[in-house]
Structure 1
């Protein structure tokens, strides 16, 4: 059996006296869908920030793609696609410009990014909005663009934090089918 993409043992995160994540253990294998469920304040987003190498753990161990995020954060982040709870798009740019610039951040070739954009516009059902500024999109369209943007680099790990927030039931169904 191959090494898991993500492995955590006794993963803990404290903020002063408050324990946000309390000694959790889990493994995520390649090709596996894995979810964190719980009420608000249960530590789901905190755990995702640790996996994304943007927040340090207090104790325990975690490896992502075989690496410790505290030592190899930039290398790990280069292999992640992240859809945060709140959309963080460049609202003054068009749909296509958002995807293009994000792809170039990863050092992908212009040719590759242009080809990938066509695929992602179809995936997100935004072909007709390609030249529209993000500011003019509906909330659901912005959410679909945020998800498409996370896929530009063909990440090894896709992290979705409440990905269907703001999507209507039909769009929600389509998204889960396509993912």
Structure 2
């Protein structure tokens, strides 16, 4: 059986009297595609924030990469690639600059980033837009760039919030 990268048991998150995440259980195995489905307000984004160690659970347990997010947030986040619901690209910078700067946030070497940027531009089919300002890109191109950016550090886990937008 494949190794589980994420294990949640009875995971619950409350905001006052409102229960956003209600005692959910799930495992995500290495190499597996896993989706959280539900209507607006079902707790999908809240669950992602708990996984990414940016929000604390109210009760239950969760391990991400064999670590508790509440105790090891920075270590977990170093191994995550996150594609947010709304892109947070820098519109004044070029496609290449956005990728390069994000790679530097992870402390990656310039040599590694240069090679990875080329790979990701091809993957995202943005080679011809490498020097274009992000503000000049179409919505679909911005979405592909945001995905490419999430992959710059070769994360162990890739999380996409609202991946169909």
CA contact 1:7–1:28 (8 Å) conserved in 2:
yes
Deviation sequence 1:98-117 (CA, Å, 0-9, x none): 00000111111101100000
Q: Which structure is higher in helix share?
A: 1
Q: Which runs of 5+ in 2 are unaligned?
A: none
CA contact 1:82–1:158 (8 Å) conserved in 2:
yes
1:173 aligned partner = none
TM-score w.r.t. the length of structure 2 is 0.98
> How far 1:163 sits from its partner (Å)?
2.1
TM-score w.r.t. the length of structure 1 is 0.90
Residue 88 in 1 paired to residue 88 in 2? yes
Deviation sequence 1:56-93 (CA, Å, 0-9, x none): 00000000000000000000000000001000001111
Deviation sequence 1:16-69 (CA, Å, 0-9, x none): 000000000000010011000011011001001101111100000000000000
Q: Which runs of 4+ in 1 moved over 4 A?
A: none
What RMSD in Å do the two structures reach over aligned CA positions?
0.8
Deviation sequence 1:147-169 (CA, Å, 0-9, x none): 0000000000000111231xxxx
Deviation sequence 1:111-155 (CA, Å, 0-9, x none): 110000011001111101000111111111111100000000000
CA contact 1:147–1:163 (8 Å) conserved in 2:
no
CA contact 1:3–1:66 (8 Å) conserved in 2:
no
